[in-house]
Amino acid sequence: MAETEQPSGSSYEDDKPPNPVSFSFMVPKKEISMVPDMGKWKRSQAYADYMGFILTLNEGVKRKKLTCEYQVSETVEKLLAMLATLDRWIDETPPIDQPSRFGNKAYRTWYAKLDQEAEALVTAILPSERHDAAPEIAVYLKEAVGNSTRIDYGTGHEAAFAAFLCCLCKVGALRMEDQLAIIFKVFDKYLQVMHKLQKTYRMEPAGSQGVWGLDDFQFLPFIWGSSQLIDHPTLEPRHFVEEKVVNEYHQDYMFLECIKFINEMKTGPFAEHSNQLWNISAVPSWSKVNQGLIRMYKAECLEKFPVIQHFKFGSLLSIQPVKP
């Protein structure tokens, strides 16, 4: 896939604020209950819209630093305030003493608060004429922070947050001009809150492939982060395994921000604890890294039944086939 590949199906770029009668909002539900259902997902409007959203943002952040200048809209400010609230709730819900090292049960108390407040949090973000979309969109927010039964977090939860942002675009709360702020402000803050959740409550990786997976918890920041680094004058893929480079540039590049978190959380040689990333450091250019990660994301996340069986479909991300 060329890094300039444009999204198929209905893309975020086409999403003008929809006509008020465009959607009959509904509470999203699971539709992929067995492996043969995966064909429905890959042919669905939801898949086309989701991938379109990811690729449009991938194109938008190309060659840009986290610290570059961009517009911050009122909706983006509201999203940041919402994420700051989730962050504050972590501080207000300290981990409890328990025999088990992993999966601190205080997470369930934190999650119960979100479960109770999610609809109100989303309503506060939406324009008044779109408040009726809150019950549908709030489901994706609740799915985006991990599983309260298993106290785990993985790429399916991350995908739910991207779906949440995609839905906000589809109802016109976020616009085309918000592209950079969506990743550099909102998604970056989401990442910080998820890292804090994972550390505080010692969350287990959901469906981890161990050293053979890209990362225990995230995937999208590696895609968008590699796009940021395309054609960088000095930083090449081989440099991200050097701690000095990571410490110097992590505030500018999401990819290096993720590497810094891995370095803080894991001990031992990088090649052993993060073998896939170590292999990626041998790829000659960021453009090739970006293309390869998009292919890998489709194959390892979006086309894997254990991940997609939990994805929920409503009116905004529909299981219906793409219209020809």
Q: Is residue 18 domain-resident?
A: no
Among the listed residues 75, 247, 100, the one whose alpha carbon sits nearest the alpha carbon of residue 175: 75
Range of the domain at 251: 35-313
Among the listed residues 186, 187, 160, the one whose alpha carbon sits nearest the alpha carbon of residue 258: 187
Q: Is residue 139 domain-resident?
A: yes
Q: Which residues pair with 245 in a beta bridge?
A: none
Instruction: Return the C-alpha torsion angle 58, 62, 68, 73, nearest 10.
Output: -30
Task: Encode pLDDT of 303-312 as tens digits.
Answer: 999 999 999 9
Structure tokens at 1: 């896939």
User: CB under 8 Å to 265, separation ≥6 — which residues?
Assistant: 199
Report the CATH number that the domain containing residue 260 is assigned in CATH: 1.20.120.1150
Cα 198 to Cα 200: distance, rounded to the nearest angstrom: 6
Q: Is residue 293 domain-resident?
A: yes
| Among the ranges given (15-19, 49-53, 114-118, 235-239), the one the predictor scored with the smallest mean pLDDT | 15-19
Instruction: Return the C-alpha torsion angle 286, 292, 293, 298, nearest 10.
Output: 160
Note whether 204 and 50 are within 8 A (CB).
no
Task: Give the total number of structural domains in the chain.
Answer: 1
- What does the DSSP 8-state code read for residue 133? G
Q: Measured between alpha carbons, how far is residue 193 from residues 104, 107, 220 in Å?
A: 16, 13, 15
Cα 219 to Cα 300: distance, rounded to the nearest angstrom: 10
Q: Is residue 281 domain-resident?
A: yes
User: CB under 8 Å to 93, separation ≥6 — which residues?
Assistant: 106, 109, 110, 113
Classified as helix, coil or strand, 14 is helix
* Single pTM value for the model: 0.91
Longest Cα separation, the chain: 56
Q: Is residue 131 domain-resident?
A: yes
pLDDT of residue 94: 97
Note whether 103 and 82 are within 8 A (CB).
no
Note whether 240 and 256 are within 8 A (CB).
yes
Residue 116 has pLDDT above 60, yes or no: yes
Q: Is residue 95 domain-resident?
A: yes
- Mutual angle of helices 106-125 and 134-143, in 10-degree steps: 150
Q: Is residue 10 domain-resident?
A: no
Residue 151 has pLDDT above 80, yes or no: yes
Residue 212 has pLDDT above 90, yes or no: no
pLDDT of residue 224: 98
Structure tokens at 159: 């995908």
Task: Encode pLDDT of 18-54 as tens digits.
Answer: 444 467 999 999 999 999 999 999 999 999 999 999 9
Cα 216 to Cα 83: distance, rounded to the nearest angstrom: 22
Query: Strand 312-313 relative to strand 29-30: parallel, antiparallel, unpaired?
Result: antiparallel
Q: Is residue 203 domain-resident?
A: yes
H-type alpha helices, the chain: 38-43, 45-60, 74-92, 106-125, 134-143, 155-170, 179-181, 188-200, 220-228, 243-249, 254-265, 270-273, 275-280, 286-297, 305-308
Residue 125 has pLDDT above 90, yes or no: yes
